[in-house]
Structure 1
Amino acid sequence: MKINLLPKNETKWRWMLGLSMGCWTALSAQTPLPLTDVSAFKNPTKTWSIVGGVTGSPKDAALKGQKGTGVLLATPGKGSSQTDYLVTNTEHGDLKLSLDFMLPQGANSGVYLMGRYEVQLYDSWGVQHPKASDCGGIYERWDENRKPNGYEGHPPRMNAAKAPGLWQHLEVEFEAPKFDGSGKKIANARFVKVVLNGTIVHQNLEVFGPTRAALFTDEKARGPLAFQGDHGPVALRNISMELLDKAPVTVGPVQYTFYTGKFNTIPKLDTMKAKPVRTGTAEKLSSVLADGRSDFLIVFNGTIQAPEADNYQFILQWMELGQLIIDGRTVFDGELSFDKPRTIDVPLTAGEHKFTLLHAKNKSWLPKVLGLYVQRKGSHLQELHGFGSVPDTDPVPVITVHPRDQVEQVRSFVYMPGYNEGDGHKKLRVLHLGDPSGVHYSYDLDQATVLMSWRGAFINMSDAWHERGEAQTASPLGSPVLALWGTSPLGMAGSTTPDSTAGLVYKGYRLDEVGHPTFRYQLAGGEFTDFIRPYENGRGLSRTVSLKDGSNLAYRLAKGKTITALSKGLYLIDGDYYVQTGAKAQVVTNNGGQELRVSGSPSVQYELIW
């Protein structure tokens, strides 16, 4: 086992704030690109067509289209060239972009921001050490006179790519290069964030010029979005764009008044008897202007200049009590904590608006936090508070575990998706298995269920092992994460709701020579066993479930909304992952969904591939 204690620049609450901010910036109004035809693009070639859907598989080098609309499909031929790029009629500067894409085996494509800066789309399934040419990478710039020719490429932080034939999701927040009045570049283009399949693979990354095979060699303030169509098949859907070109609000200096004392509610200022300790003027509101960490009230008064009539989103962040008043109307009054910010929609007319913000804090052990943000459709998120108002605190370590030459096992609690501490939905007996091949999983010992599996780095144990531990939980370090919550492999044959986990009795596990466990249970009058190991050098999991001396048991290999048989023994589950088996399986409708079941067999082997 290898355990790393890495310095972390932010505490847990600050990290959670960062996650919240990521959610806030996603509150956008992206405009879907209509895909009923190709009229949104300039002179599209026959390489591109509109279809109603596509299918692939882990080993197919092509994608098959179905009749209909809503999906763009590229099928380049031998003579394909840069003329087969698909270029939007719309040009953009700063931009938020989201889309789904599908690649067959070995395929290569790309998304060019402004037709100049490429985010690579590539079949990188199973690559353990990604390069700039792998999926999610920012491709190299190119110069025939340099050695090497390629330079300034940026590989993704980790390989978050899925298997060929699965839909994948890409989100990009991009800032265009900036120019002064004379046309001189004063700021480089920047990828604010690139998210592949839910994993941040780039953040705050500058690019100094167009990447290889761009449509243009120069740089400008605006340009079209382009999709590479000459290197291999690719399918695209759900393409949405938000142009971030609206003017920001402006905020003048604020007047502040500071009071000491315990305020259990936000008082009415016109009847309050407390005398201020200090008053003054500041460039921006800030928690730093309050003395100490508790027993105070601070009041800010200022003006916001709205550039035009619109709906503005104010995002509030403080510890304990606060109130925001705009134009004499209380838009929010209540208690907040660092991990639960509040977003308030406020319609504003063009022009000046007065605001008052009050904040009271009484608990010294809580950090001093005060944040006020604003955004609207088509604009960047703005911080209206000053530096240090949402501060960092003392660093804590990130404690990671990495398997070397054998399987590693660690235990922790795990929260079910959508629930937090105190909700009562915590899995208490979870074993995390890390394999040197780079594929790992979390196993619920109570229900014989693989809760989730992932590739890449193994696990973060900080919450369980740092000091006394907090929630006693662990989290995957790798990506993509395959969530299999509630998919027990057990059921009674013939039942419409085949879940026999109520009669399951855990009996421990045996380890093979490299540490792969065989889980043992008593069930249905016999012994149920579950053996899991890596598949194809970490590209998936192979699972063998069996029942000895038992009866009337069905195996449930998968469940979902839609299960599609792609070929003999290969099934697609909700478009998220594949199940492959040599057993005679049956798709059964159950509780409004579908299940893949095998009955009448003492043992079944199958693979989970994603």
Structure 2
Amino acid sequence: MVTPSTTTRFFWSLGVGWVAGIGLAMAQPAPAPGIAIPLNDLSAFTSPTANWRIAGSVHADLNKPNTITTDKGTGILVNVPLAKMPEDAKNPYKYDLVTTLQHGDVDLELDYMMASKSNSGVYLQGRYEIQMRDSWDIRTPNVHDNGAVYERWDEKRPDGQKGYEGHAARQNASRAPGLWQHLKISFQAPRFNTNGQKTENGRVIRIELNGVPIQEDVELTGPTRGSAFADEKATGPLRFQGDHGAVAFRNIRYVAYDKPRPELLNLKYAVYKGKYEKEPDYDKTAPESEGATKVLSTSINQIPNEFLIRYTGTLRVSEPGEYRFNLGVPGGGGMLKINKQSVVTPGGWNGSGKATLPKGDVPFELFYSKFVDWAQPALGLTVAGPGVREFVISEGAGGNGDDVDPIIVDAPNNTILRSFMDMPGVDSPGEKNTQGRTLRVVHAISVGSPEQVHYTYDLDKGALIQVWRGSFLDATPMWHDRGDGSSRPMGMVQRLGTPVLFLSKLASPQANWIADTTGSSYRPKGYVLDESDRPTFRYQSYGSSIEDKVRVLPEGKGIQREVTVANPAGDLYARLISGTSITPMENGMYLVDGQEYVRLDDLAGAKPTIRDANGRQELIVPVKGKVIYSILF
């Protein structure tokens, strides 16, 4: 009988990164920088066919299905389907690309670009497909859409039931064709005993698409449809599908987890009664109880509060290198020493640290002091290191009664929610305001739609600050306990730069955009709802009355914004978008940072300008009374 690992179920089913309620903040299984698969040529792959090439840049047109054009250079792997790709009965997957790399447990990270209406996939170990598809216009993804763990297949089953055990992405976090998408996969290979019998199924531990978790803890009972192998093994190659559609890849990196885990040996414990806010002198303090144990756990202690547990023993290290430790000790503080080095110093409920360890047995010491009476006793310790995925080395059971049920706001109808909105990573990661805090929009209105395309509007500046696809809002920070007034987008978010006034008077197209509302006579006038409860925002600025209407495009492909300005001043401009790079395309389209398109729908005859400003680029346009443009993402 094949059963999933208890440790794997315990650890990875906790998608929010907390171990069984003990308050131990676990690192998500996001791939580390890892090892790059070189894309200077095709030497990292076996027997590449003519449909595969290396390029320096690529472009996929929204209106040309299954078409990617390339420019000379290196760094991008491209599949351009051939005009004729005859089937080969002896080698049905001859047009796929297979790595020389053989992997077991692995974290894989890459960027990919789909052509319009295209279809591809990456097979872990050549056997388990993660689907890649142009699913831009899909509201509810299925097992054939982007980010799915593809279905298994059995021809012996009745029609309509041949495909089984596929897992659709939990929400559609896809970008439009021609835009780079980012994929992170954490995979655990199947386990086999010394006789070659499978003892544990493989698992997709987690998949993130464009920063959004879309799969967690998916058990793989066998190869998915289209596997190159009928059997399962402990290792296998990566395989990129090449016979279905045009696709490009770049920045392919992996972290292999193929080294033995460290082990705790010869563990001894001593329990001391009392309130210890610092480590005692053990030679002068008699323990309440002591003994030997095989696991780190609080179960050896019968004192409910005000105690200290000290563990000593040996950590056996098979692979030398730098190891990372996370310690969770709710209701007090803890300390960790490895090889007589202080790794986690006495402090709060959660601590972390690193230690460079040699191969062999090294001394281990840990203490947990609990003195907060309402917290439940618990102890959690995780370890990660070279070739070792982070795992729970303690028993890890228990709870501190502080678990939080998330407060999720869905948008089955057009939905409006006012809140604070934090803007991490606007223009630069972790941008701070003048008080040194993360940039916060304090008069934000988020508008959700049943098409699952949403946006946030800044009432202080008449600015559209972000758009996203997928689920609507997580309001837990606002409504849990005392709350902080903020909510968070839940889907694939496209932030639109630092919030500034949408309209500004400029003496010339190169003049500085005003930093705040000073001198603009800006006055917000709220909003009105149409018959479908969609808002049109109103404000006054520079002596004009403005109406600002944002609507979701058909098939949820983005949003269209229509700004009407009554009697605009002759030197009034609108700032449509900013980015590191803004590239003109055909038919009034612009590509912004490879992450979104801006389409100019109606500028009342005005001509747009791309200008440089503070190390970035801005797309601005003189205002002739009406500005209509769309953001496709």
Does structure 1 retain, via aligned residues, the 8 Å contact 2:343–2:353? no
Does structure 2 retain, via aligned residues, the 8 Å contact 1:116–1:211? yes
Q: How does 1:345-494 map to 2 (within 5 A)?
A: 346-366=355-375, 368-388=377-397, 391=399, 393=401, 396-404=404-412, 406-417=413-424, 418=430, 423=437, 425-466=439-480, 468-477=481-490, 479-488=491-500, 489-493=502-506, 494=508
Task: Indicate the RMSD between aligned Cα atoms, in angstroms.
Answer: 2.7
Q: Which amino acid is 1:137 matched to?
A: A
Which of the numbers 137, 148, 159 marks the counterpart of 2:148?
A: 137
Structure 2: distance between partners of 1:16 and 1:532? 42
Q: Which amino acid is 1:543 matched to?
A: R
Q: Which amino acid is 1:376 matched to?
A: G
- Per-residue CA deviation, residues 242-264 of structure 1 (Å, 9 max, x unaligned), is 22111111112522222233333
Structure 1: distance between partners of 2:584 and 2:15? 47
Q: CA separation of 1:68/1:285 partners in 2, compared to 1, >3 Å: closer, same or farther?
A: same
Q: CA separation of 1:365/1:601 partners in 2, compared to 1, >3 Å: closer, same or farther?
A: farther
- Per-residue CA deviation, residues 150-189 of structure 1 (Å, 9 max, x unaligned), is 2222111111111100100111111222222222222222
Structure 1: distance between partners of 2:112 and 2:22? 30
SS at match of 1:463: helix
Q: How does 1:514-593 map to 2 (within 5 A)?
A: 514-551=532-569, 552-582=571-601, 583=603, 584-593=607-616
Correspondence 1:329 to 2:356: no
Structure 1: distance between partners of 2:305 and 2:51? 65
Q: Which amino acid is 1:48 matched to?
A: W
Number of residues of Structure 1 aligned to a counterpart in Structure 2: 593
> What displacement does 1:469 show?
4.1
Structure 1: distance between partners of 2:499 and 2:420? 18
Which of the numbers 617, 621, 627 marks the counterpart of 1:594?
A: 617
Correspondence 1:316 to 2:327: yes
- TM-score normalised per structure 2: 0.87
- Per-residue CA deviation, residues 110-144 of structure 1 (Å, 9 max, x unaligned), is 10111111000000012111111101111122222
Q: CA separation of 1:27/1:240 partners in 2, compared to 1, >3 Å: closer, same or farther?
A: closer
Which of the numbers 517, 522, 526 marks the counterpart of 1:501?
A: 517
Structure 2: distance between partners of 1:261 and 1:392? 20
Q: Which amino acid is 2:473 matched to?
A: I
The equivalent of 1:246 in structure 2 is 259
> What displacement does 1:396 show?
4.7
Structure 2: distance between partners of 1:127 and 1:605? 25
Q: Which amino acid is 1:565 matched to?
A: P
Q: Which amino acid is 1:328 matched to?
A: K
Correspondence 1:235 to 2:248: yes
Q: How does 1:110-259 map to 2 (within 5 A)?
A: 110-148=121-159, 149-259=162-272
SS at match of 1:83: coil
> What displacement does 1:410 show?
1.7
Q: Which amino acid is 2:391 matched to?
A: Q
> What displacement does 1:328 show?
2.3
Does structure 1 retain, via aligned residues, the 8 Å contact 2:44–2:99? yes
The equivalent of 1:55 in structure 2 is 59
> What displacement does 1:514 show?
1.2
Q: CA separation of 1:183/1:59 partners in 2, compared to 1, >3 Å: closer, same or farther?
A: same
- Per-residue CA deviation, residues 358-378 of structure 1 (Å, 9 max, x unaligned), is 233433345645322111122
> What displacement does 1:352 show?
0.7
SS at match of 1:28: coil
Q: How does 1:282-321 map to 2 (within 5 A)?
A: 282-289=293-300, 294-319=305-330, 320-321=332-333
> What displacement does 1:107 show?
0.2
Structure 2: distance between partners of 1:102 and 1:142? 27
SS at match of 2:26: helix
SS at match of 2:585: strand
- TM-score normalised per structure 1: 0.90
Structure 1: distance between partners of 2:390 and 2:50? 40
SS at match of 1:155: coil
Does structure 2 retain, via aligned residues, the 8 Å contact 1:490–1:498? no
Which of the numbers 21, 31, 38 marks the counterpart of 1:34?
A: 38
SS at match of 1:252: strand
> What displacement does 1:57 show?
3.6
SS at match of 1:58: coil
SS at match of 2:94: helix
The equivalent of 1:68 in structure 2 is 73
> What displacement does 1:428 show?
2.5
